[in-house]
């Protein structure tokens, strides 16, 4: 799978069947908030209507494109 880490493809998508690469890409392309972690990875947050207006956090590698992790962030406050 292109544009995702092996971890994302093999672990995250398997454990979180509600996620798709397309949903994650939407968050990356139009984030509510963006933050660079100390390790250089980038966090993106976006509101997802399909999930009842919950916030999804997507973590990419340093390139800002390759998806590494994604999950519903229950503690995020815009």
48, 27 Cβ separation under 8 angstroms: yes
Helix runs in 1-78, H state only? 6-7, 13-15, 21-29
- Tokens 């390759």 found at: 66
Q: Is residue 9 helix, strand or coil?
A: helix
The residues of the chain scoring below 70 in pLDDT are none
Q: Is residue 23 helix, strand or coil?
A: helix
Show me where the domains of the chain are located.
6-72
Which tens digit of pLDDT belongs to each residue from 42-55? 999 999 999 998 99
Bridge partners (DSSP) of residue 4 are 67
The pLDDT of residue 1: 78
């Amino acid at each position: 799978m292109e544009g995702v880490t092996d971890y994302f493809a093999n672990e995250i998508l398997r454990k979180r069947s509600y996620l798709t690469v397309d949903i994650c890409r939407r968050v990356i392309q139009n984030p509510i908030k963006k933050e660079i972690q100390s390790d250089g990875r980038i966090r993106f947050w976006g509101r997802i209507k399909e999930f009842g207006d919950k916030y999804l956090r997507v973590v990419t590698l340093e390139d800002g494109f390759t998806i590494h992790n994604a999950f519903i962030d229950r503690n995020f406050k815009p």
